[in-house]
Amino acid sequence: MTGSFSFDQGSGWARLLAAVAAFIALSLLPSCDWFGRKTEDEPPEKSLPLLEMPDASTVAQRFKTLSREGVEWEHYLTAPGILWRGTRKFFSFAYLQAGAPVSSMRSALVLIPTALPAKGDPGIVFQEVPGTIFEIHSIRLGASLEAQLLFSVSVRREGESQVLSSIYWDVKKDKNFNDLRFIEVWKVVHAYDLLDARGSYRPPDFHYWDVDDDGLQEVVVTNAWKDKPPPWRYRWAVFHWDPQSRRMEPRRGLALFPFKEQHPEWLALALVEMLRLRSPEEELAAYFSSAPGCEMKRTLQMAAALEGVLSPPRTVSGNAGTARVQLDALPSSGKEGRKESVGRESQKDRLRLEVELRNEPIAFDRWRICRAQLYRVRENN
């Protein structure tokens, strides 16, 4: 006889239905908010409403003083207009350190949003500046709202000299803190003697117009020259704001720019332009370093060989004491009025001058040329 077992059909179906019902109930639990529901005394979080300020003077009255790291600052100047960054709008102000003597005065650039929360952090952007800021403007150098820069002029005392700093500031997000901060992108420093202010006071004169008809305004600084006027293109130093790299590029006219030695890129471009103007060697010698290993004669020969249309100079390496700057020259379409046929491949060939410079700081950065190398660069399609 074979073995057998009995099955209670009623009780078996009951257990099966109970198991199915339990599975369905468990599967529905995640869709319910029983475990994440807040109690009655915990209302849902709401963003604080923002109050739009009617004008900059209202904001200045509300923030007559600021306290930063134990230092008190007092409102001093208000810039006209609004500075945009993305969807955010700011009023621009200058503050002075409260109670500080004029000889050691410090200022601050301050951006305050046009819409402020009723309480909490107002989102102020703050930047200390040596000396006293006495001029502040918002400058727009392109069609985009992001092409706005802040321009400030400050003065400070150093010995028997007054030092004026004209600075263009960008405002962008800090990668570390994910908040906005000021970035210095372009600066000219002018020092004059207090005992001979009439003879030594010659600050830069800034203008803005579209030099190359590309729809973007350039920064144009009037140059000075002696005796016979130079060619037209050298009568102004022209600087172009590149919205992609967000940097100010020197374009031309730096040969006569009285502040060219304050930046390695300015001096590298000025060297080539001075040679094209056939400046005397004794005049060029003033821009070269006398440090061991520096080579003036060889550098002049290489720079003189850089023919063609110059690209904006770019710093490839550098620190506070040294810098290496590259200048490329594309071959011109003709030489001395004679048109040359340039193939598509040869148009990719260009000469590259790499200039090494050293900094000899005084009241401001003073760069000097040390040596240079000349290369031929070819890019294949």
Q: Hunting for tokens 């022209």 — which residue is that?
A: 238
Name the β-bridge partners of 151. 137, 168
Q: How far apart are CA 264 and CA 355, in angstroms?
A: 9
Which helix (H) or strand (E) segment is 304 a member of? helix 296-304
Q: pLDDT tens digit string along 7-42?
A: 344 555 555 555 555 555 545 444 444 444 444 555
Q: How far apart are CA 157 and CA 30, in angstroms?
A: 70
Write out the DSSP string of 305-364: T--SEEPPPEEEEE-SSEEEEEEEEEPPSEETTEE----TTGGG-EEEEEEEEEE--SSS
CA nearest 369: which of 237, 270, 276, 236? 270
Q: How far apart are CA 247 and CA 30, in angstroms?
A: 53
Q: How far apart are CA 304 and CA 294, in angstroms?
A: 17
Name the β-bridge partners of 350. 377
- CA torsion sign, 202 to 208 to 210 to 215? positive
Q: Hunting for tokens 């030695």 — which residue is that?
A: 261
Q: Are strands 206-209 and 83-85 parallel, antiparallel or unpaired?
A: unpaired
Residue 223: its pLDDT value, please?
Answer: 93
Residue 2: its pLDDT value, please?
Answer: 43
Q: From first to last of its 381 residues, what are the pLDDT tens digits of the chain? A: 444 434 344 555 555 555 555 555 545 444 444 444 444 555 554 566 778 888 999 999 999 999 999 999 999 999 999 999 988 999 999 999 999 998 889 999 999 999 998 888 899 999 999 999 999 999 999 888 889 999 999 999 988 899 999 999 999 987 765 689 999 999 999 999 988 888 889 899 999 999 888 888 999 999 988 888 899 999 999 999 998 899 999 999 999 999 999 999 999 999 999 999 999 999 999 999 999 999 999 999 999 999 889 999 999 998 989 999 999 998 765 544 333 333 344 456 789 999 999 998 887 889 999 999 999 888 765
CA nearest 352: which of 272, 275, 295? 272
Quick one: 89 exposed, middle or buried, by C-beta within 10 A (0-12, 13-18, 19+)?
middle
∠ CA 91-172-242, rounded to 5° = 105
Angle between helices 296-304 and 264-276 (to 10 degrees): 70
Q: Would residue 246 be called left, alpha or beta, if left means φ above 0 and alpha means ψ between -120 and 50 degrees?
A: left
Q: How far apart are CA 62 and CA 56, in angstroms?
A: 10
Q: pLDDT tens digit string along 194-210?
A: 888 888 898 999 999 99
Q: DSSP letter at 39? A: P
For 97, the token pair is 């350190």
One-letter amino acid for residue 236 of the chain: W
